[in-house]
Chain A
Amino acid sequence: MANQSRKIPIQHIVGFALSITLTLLAAWTALRSSLPVMWIIIAILTMAVLQAAIQLFMFMHITERGAGHAPWNMMFHAAVIAVILVAGSLFTMSFGFHYDNGGGDSQPEQQQEQHQN
């Protein structure tokens, strides 16, 4: 709590500037850059994780001693669970991506899949 009595909250201002920059950078990467789609997704998701970390450490005082170890511990496990939920669901339900979208080229692929099963 070094900045508790300070008039200007430097930590907050730095965090704010960083999050605005990251947002603009992410928007630029997605809309203006000519990277391959997969790289764009990886890049902007990384920036989102960075921004979340900024909020947690610079705004939410996650490391503040008052509340003990529970905050960062719970946030860490929550992040793991969130990844399991999203990645696990995509992994499990990946068979469902070959749905019938009113004909088109997804059809032969689907038949092949059924054949393999």
Chain B
Amino acid sequence: MQLDEFFVTGEPLIYAGMVAIALVTSAVIFLLTYFKKWGWLWREWLTTVDHKKIGIMYILSALAMLFRGGADALMMRTQLAFPDMNFLDAQHYNEIFTTHGTVMIIFMAMPFLIGLMNIAVPLQIGARDFAFPYVNALSFWAFFFGAMLFNISFVIGGSPDAGWTSYTPLAGAAMSPGPGQNFYLLGLQLSGIGTLATGVNLMVTILKMRAPGMTLFKMPIFSWSSLITMFIIVFAFPILTVALALLTIDRIFGSQFFTLTGEGLPMMWANLFWMWGHPEVYIVVLPAFGIFSEVIATFARKQLFGYSVMVWSIILIAGLSFLVWVHHFFTMGAGAFVNSVFSVSTMAIAVPTGVKIFNWLATLYKSKIQITVPMMWALAFIPSFVMGGVTGVMLGMAAADYQFHNSYFLIAHFHYVLIAGTVFACFAGLIYWYPKMFGHRLNERIGKIAFWFFVIGFHVCFLPQYFLGLDGMPRRVFHIVPEWFNLNVVSTVGAFGMGIGFAVFVYNIYYSYRYSEREKTGDPWNGRTLEWATPIPVPEYNFAVVPHVDSLDAFWTMKERGESPYDESKVKPIHMPSNTGKPFIMMGILTLASFFLVFEWIWLAAAGLIGGIIMMIIRSFDYDEGYHISSEEIIETERSARGL
């Protein structure tokens, strides 16, 4: 293979990207060496099994991916702003819409939410860590390296260009030769395995490690939504694993699943992809519902209205999510009866979702609302998400879908639900739990500026797209015609508004790090659930004394009764898992193997796989049982953290 086949050449934007990567990498290496931080990086972060630190790493990676996906989005919007723009060529445009979709769903939305779960869920249920801390680290590194593998594609080998859905036969070896699609398949495979492991891990944590007295129906609603999300992950991700593996085998080893030869059935890919893909939509939106429920209850100063109805509606949504996948390809022509069945089941989902909307409104009703930045995101979510949901029901009508399908109407719909649902929730949740993570709040004034830029930009960007869709603008075109010009230019302006909002948000992180007041108590928002019972910074063992829970909103009850969550006389030594570099090394080796497989260097890939198996064998013989923190040390930590 020639070097110029290995690296992507001939595109000024990509050369700029290469320079940026080289500069950032050398800057990071220089800073780490200059400040002698390599040991610190290895000890504190790369080998950590602490769920709070892993959560922070998830969120930082997700923010980086949000930047990358957002940059893709702005490039697309620039290209579409005026008729016959030549900012991007067709091939580059195809690659960018593919990576935008994939990055945003797989490497931004899910890790962001999983990061927030990592931080909040064990604290909410009164647990000291995940059930399997080692596996948790493994999950993170699987995701992280999977994301890196996918992202490197734009400078090495070329990005995938068959859309984030990667439909066959276009994505097959015959029509998309070369490494591009392989990057998609293996990057997703790696991070998907990590997600599945998180699913098992967090499910066991929630089922088995709750504080004494916390029955399932006394559990905070975010933990509930996490539990149900993990349930969906456990059942949906194996489908993705198989689908990706089959297409990989098709492309690299010449099988005939989705090919046009050998009586293969390309449409089977769409079927498998959406059998995972629809549950996936709920994987990214149910935790968002949980975050909004927490935020709304906290800042409305009321117990969540209709808690058990909320829980049951989440369960119902989860069940229905496995029964609607065909609505993504009504136009495939499966026939009137098949389409009718899935049309009905699709519309049924609106019922439990509507119930949730009314519950949030009822929680707000006659309450003293405290307008903080997380609450503003939650309040913006409700009407925006309804607009996305209602258009979803329109798309769910199979006959009408023949008109809407693959038009900008669809684009507007899913951005309305995914941004107003998931992205708003990520911002709300990050700001809400930020003091637990970093010991200070984000600045409110700058936070509000970011909020207004982003929310107004969002509506300006996507509302016109509904009308563009109705005017007949199809998705994935890279040139617009003059009739679509007005609304497109408005949409582009909105997109840049969102970009400014994000930039202000990131600036706020820096500003607050420098100037924000440090938190003195563990409870900056006057919270209701157990995570606020821990001091700031949260000690590595979370709870010196595991609290006994006998009500929903356990911490609120404690405060009402005037109880302290910390009783020095009950402190006992705490068992902790040891740090380990094995997850990092194992996933690094497997990533290398995947990289070789992307270029179809089979023997190198096999060697990498054997390396991974050797790491697993080493792990099997590892009987390290961790260590204990003594009572004296715990008492000392708690005294200084709580200012006693």
Contact = CB atoms under 8 A, between A and B. Distances in A.
Interface string A11-45: 00000000000000000000000000000000000
Interface of B is mostly: helix
Interface string A91-108: 111111001010000000
Contacts of B335: 94-95, 117
Contact of B207 (A68, A81, A88, A93): A68
A92 B338 contact: yes
Nearest to A74: B234
Interface of A: 68, 70, 74, 77-78, 81, 84-85, 88-89, 91-96, 99, 101, 117
A99 B267 CA distance: 13
Contacts of B265: 93, 96
A88 B333 contact: no
A95 B235 contact: no
27 contacts: A68-B208, A70-B207, A81-B235, A81-B322, A84-B323, A85-B239, A88-B275, A88-B325, A89-B271, A89-B275, A92-B326, A92-B338, A93-B265, A93-B267, A93-B271, A93-B334, A94-B334, A94-B335, A95-B333, A95-B334, A95-B335, A95-B338, A96-B265, A96-B268, A99-B263, A101-B263, A117-B333
Interface in B507-534: none
A89 B326 CA distance: 10
B338 A96 contact: no
Interface string B228-267: 0001001100010000000000000000000000010101
Interface in B26-79: none
A93 B268 contact: yes
Of the four ranges (under 10, 10 to 19, 20 to 34, 35 or more), the interface on chain B belongs to: 20 to 34
Nearest to A77: B235
A77 B239 CA distance: 15
Contact of A92 (B208, B271, B322): B271
Contacts of B208: 68
A99 B256 CA distance: 15
B141 to A, nearest CB: 26
A112 to B, nearest CB: 13
A41 B530 CA distance: 54
A91 B338 contact: yes
Contacts of A81: 235, 322
Contacts of B235: 77-78, 81
Q: Which 5 A-B pairs have the closest CB atoms?
A: A81-B235, A95-B334, A92-B326, A92-B334, A96-B265
Contacts of A78: 235
A92 B273 CA distance: 13
Q: Which of B207, B235, B263 has the most CB of A within 10 A?
A: B235
A85 B275 contact: yes
Contacts of B341: 91
